[in-house]
Amino acid sequence: MRRTTSRIVPTAVALAASLAFAAPALAADNGKFRIGVVTFLSGGAAGPFGVPSLNGAKVLVDALNEGKLPAPYNLKGINGVEIETVIVDENGGATKQVEEFRNLAERHKVDAVIGYISSGDCLAIAPVAEELKMPTVFFDCGTSRLFEENKAPTYVFRTGLDAAIDNIGAARYLVDSGRKLDSVASIQQNYAWGHDSWADFSAAIQQLKPGVKVATEQLPKLFQGQYGAEISAISVSRPDVIHSSFWGGDMEALVLQGAARGLFDKRAAVLTCGESALDRFKGQAPNGLILGARGPFGAFAPQNPLSDWFRTAYRGKNEIEPTYPAFKMAQAILGLKAAVEKTGAKPGTIPAKEAVAKSFKGLNFESVSGTVQMARAGGHQALQGIAYGEYSFDAKSGKATLANVRHYSGECVTPPDGTTAAAWIKAGFPGAQCK
């Protein structure tokens, strides 16, 4: 009898607990505009990307609900309807994310989903979003395949930029800065992101400066953390420039270990995701290190009432400067708000999902990074420029800024519809409009 009781009690507790946690999922429609926000809350991408983007979402949603945003976003919530978020951890792989997405749509009955940093997750979610007719805004993932595989999207939008743009912009910056550029070394994380970034960059640099030699191609494991041998191999290969799409802790470790060994003393290095650690490098990154922010975000964002407001509000709540993932999340939310309000639905009501998708297509909206045109992939992909600049740390003030910043317009670095990024680069960027 006692043995039976000892098994029943924990089982009952477990069941009770599971019911308690399931309750919010079954909540009835409460008239709020419900957004599923999916970003990394655990794993290696949480610290550099997931948490800043979630913080960005919280700052923006709270302010929207209080009607505190500058015009044209001063209507409370979305179309006058209070926003409610359902937050989901992106960690766990694409299969889990598809299940979570279905949960958001069918159990939480969200009105839209904003999220996804991992390209693998975006590729898995896009067809499900179309199947469930759920307006879905990808705020960060960079894969070029998103709209190459999903050629006639209706409900899927991306307000972040294609990763090819990061690397075309980096190549243009290096050439335009007039640096010695006879050879380039590559160090990338050994998975699709690293391979694709290097393929785009090496092809672009060959087009812009034919004859550039590849000194070495290093492909350490994701989250390896120790790069001693790779740093030696790059040093021995004596490149003029180092290109890396490293992100997060891997990027910070590479900079720390490389700087301690003088890797950046005699050569330029470009980090396409470097801005995310701008305020964390302190004196450890050498001045002159070239950083990107995957678009005109973070420290590269132009000064306008929206970006000024966002910086102040974010700093007020989080006591640090917002980095590019926070800007990108804010941009996605503003895009959704603009699309919903453009439907012409009566203020205080939530328009149909079909109307939101139709309204989002080809939308122009103001954002924390300037004006965004949904002008690629048939109106589903944002067209924006990109900027690069050099890290500059002032030891006296303890502040890091960006020097020698160059901006490239969207038309300069983005392939036109109907061609892939790889084909556009290979053809020599036909139609590119660069000032």
Residue type, 150: N
* Of positions 282, 354, 399, 404, contacts other proteins by CB under 8 A: 282
Q: Is 217 in the site for other proteins (CB under 8 A)?
A: yes
Report d(CA 408, CA 73) in Å as an integer.
27
Query: For residue 386, what are the contacts with CB-CB under 8 A and spacing of at least 6?
Result: 161, 165, 166, 169, 292, 294, 295, 296, 407, 408, 413
Considering the complex, what minimum distance in angstroms separates the CB of residue 197 from other proteins?
16
Q: How many chain residues touch other proteins (CB under 8 A)?
A: 41
Q: Candidates 135-143, 228-236, 329-337, 375-383 — which segment interacts with other proteins by CB under 8 A?
A: 228-236
* Of positions 107, 280, 358, 406, contacts other proteins by CB under 8 A: 280
Q: Is 223 in the site for other proteins (CB under 8 A)?
A: yes
Considering the complex, what minimum distance in angstroms separates the CB of residue 232 from other proteins?
4
Closest by CA to 89, choosing from 122, 51, 133, is 51
Q: Is 140 in the site for other proteins (CB under 8 A)?
A: no
Report d(CA 414, CA 410) in Å as an integer.
6
Helices (H), 218-352: 228-237, 248-260, 278-281, 305-318, 324-342
Considering the complex, what minimum distance in angstroms separates the CB of residue 276 from other proteins?
10
Considering the complex, what minimum distance in angstroms separates the CB of residue 36 from other proteins?
20
* Of positions 14, 22, 236, 434, contacts other proteins by CB under 8 A: 236
Considering the complex, what minimum distance in angstroms separates the CB of residue 155 from other proteins?
31
Asked if 272 and 166 count as a contact pair (C-beta separation under 8 A), the reply is yes
Place of tokens 């000064």: 303
Sheet holding 386-394, edge to edge: 213-218, 183-187, 241-244, 268-271, 290-292, 386-394, 399-408
Q: DSSP letter at 44?
A: T
E strand map for 40-161: 83-89, 112-115, 136-138, 156-158
Considering the complex, what minimum distance in angstroms separates the CB of residue 394 from other proteins?
17
* Of positions 8, 229, 403, 423, contacts other proteins by CB under 8 A: 229
Sheet holding 364-367, edge to edge: 83-89, 33-39, 112-115, 136-138, 156-158, 381-383, 370-376, 364-367
Closest by CA to 325, choosing from 160, 164, 105, is 160
Q: Candidates 71-79, 210-218, 296-304, 414-422 — which segment interacts with other proteins by CB under 8 A?
A: 210-218
Angle formed by the axes of helices 305-318 and 51-66, nearest 10°: 110
Q: Is 275 in the site for other proteins (CB under 8 A)?
A: no
Report d(CA 290, CA 372) in Å as an integer.
25
Which contiguous run of DSSP H or E holds residue 53? Answer: helix 51-66
Residue 185 vs 425, nearer CB to other proteins: 185
Considering the complex, what minimum distance in angstroms separates the CB of residue 54 from other proteins?
10
Considering the complex, what minimum distance in angstroms separates the CB of residue 226 from other proteins?
6
Report d(CA 183, CA 262) in Å as an integer.
18
Q: Candidates 37-45, 76-84, 138-146, 339-347 — which segment interacts with other proteins by CB under 8 A?
A: 37-45
Q: Candidates 62-70, 158-166, 243-251, 329-337 — which segment interacts with other proteins by CB under 8 A?
A: 243-251
Q: Is 42 in the site for other proteins (CB under 8 A)?
A: yes
Q: Is 93 in the site for other proteins (CB under 8 A)?
A: no
Residue 100 vs 252, nearer CB to other proteins: 252
Q: Is 409 in the site for other proteins (CB under 8 A)?
A: no
Q: Would you tell me which residues interact with other proteins (CB under 8 A)?
A: 41-44, 46-48, 50-51, 190, 216-221, 223-226, 228-230, 232-233, 235-236, 248-250, 252-253, 256-257, 259-262, 280, 282, 284
